[in-house]
Amino acid sequence: MKFGTIEWGGREHVAVLTHDNGGVLLPSELGDLVTIISGGAPTLEAVRNAVSRSEATPFALDNVRVLSPIRRFRRDVLCTGWNYWDHFYESEGKREGQDVPKPDAPTFFTKAPDVVIGPTDDIAFDAAVSAKWDYEAEIALVIGKTGRSIPREQALEHVFGYCLANDISQRDLQRRHGGQWFKGKSIDATMPLGPWIALRDTVDLSQVTLELDLNGRRMQQASVSKMAFDVAQLVSELSFGMTLHPGDLLLTGTPSGIGNARTPPIFLQDGDEVIVRASGLGELRNRMRHVPLSSYTN
């Protein structure tokens, strides 16, 4: 059972994927997916009952549009940098004077929530905004239970589930704004998310392989077990003195193979197709499409 949000009949619906080709819609009275996550075990039991009832409305994937599973954010998207050491080392000397020592603890930053798009939506691209558009395949986790200063041994109890993200980055904007990453990670409509959230207990991340293809060429491939800091440590460290809430999204970092670290560098262009996939979590399949992001709107 995987959770997500679909567009069907001109409306958004929270849905559960029960097999490869489709699933069932959840009753609207259960609320959106953030509300369901916040409800904890009792709401999950209500979901299971709804799925098992014969009157639950079925859907076929061929007849719906799969949206980003999380549609409502109470804060920025939370992110982890340099969480695969091969990625940290591949960029040494290529950070334009902004190299730092190898970190002893997780590196956290945020992205504005307007970056989020669906698993098959076009990624907004405007060469006037940046000349260095890069890709980053990542596992994303969704917080399922409120907690602050969560002990490592209890951290996984606060994880609802996992999905995929592509942390599209603008490398020149990262450098332009003092080396901090927020601006170079927050361009509108540039982060595919989804396609479905797999419950934590159904995924063994140590057995998951994360991949990214660009126009049919394999650019990234790594075992998630190679994370520098595992999920339990990420949740524990991030929550130290800081409350995490149900529905919060945390990206867990990308492995080596990014475009900026290659010789010569490879940057995304209008029309490029980028596919992120991971065993048990499905795939994101998106194309770069020109959008006048640099034009004034109000």
Q: What is the pLDDT of residues 192-249, one digit of tens each?
A: 999 999 999 999 999 999 999 999 999 999 999 999 999 999 999 999 999 999 999 9
The mean pLDDT of 136-154, rounded to a whole number, is 98
Of the candidates 263, 255, 270, the one whose C-alpha atom is nearest the C-alpha of residue 133 is 270
pLDDT band at 179 (very low <50, low <70, confident <90, very high): confident
CB 221 within 8 A of CB 151: no
Across the chain, mean pLDDT equals: 96
Structure letter (DSSP) for residue 233: H
The CATH number given to 77-290 is 3.90.850.10
Return the domain boundaries, the chain: 2-67, 77-290
Residue-wise pLDDT for 277-291, tens only, equals: 999 999 999 999 999
pLDDT at 11: 96
pLDDT in tens, 34-80: 999 999 999 999 999 999 887 789 999 999 999 999 999 999 999 99
Query: What pLDDT is stored for residue 285 in this prediction?
Result: 98
- pLDDT of residue 94 exceeding 80, the answer is no
Query: What whole-number distance in Å separates Cα of residue 166 and Cα of residue 163?
Result: 11
Task: Give yes or no for a contact between 29 and 38, defined as CB atoms under 8 angstroms apart.
Answer: no
Q: Which residue in the block uniquely carries the two structure tokens 């405007």?
A: 126
Give 91's pLDDT tier (boundaries 50, 70, 90): confident
Torsions phi, psi for 89 (to 5 deg): -75, -30
Determine contact, residues 232/63, Cβ cutoff 8 Å: no
pLDDT at 243: 98
Question: Does residue 98 surpass a pLDDT of 80?
Answer: no
Q: What region, left, alpha or beta, does residue 131 occupy, with left being phi > 0 and alpha being psi -120 to 50 degrees?
A: alpha
Q: Please measure the distance between the N-terminal and C-terminal CA atoms of the chain and give it in whole angstroms.
A: 41
Strand partners, 107: 81
Structure-block tokens of residue 279: 């065993």
Per-residue confidence (pLDDT) for residue 226, from 0 to 100: 98
Give the pLDDT band of residue 97 (cuts 50, 70, 90): low
pLDDT at 24 over 80: yes
Over the range 207-234, which residues count as b (16 or more CB within 10 Å of their CB) and which as e? Answer: ebebbbbbeeeebbebebeebbbbbbbb
DSSP code, position 139: E
Alpha-carbon distance 6 to 215, whole Å?
Answer: 27
Closest Cα partner for 167 from 229, 255, 71? 255
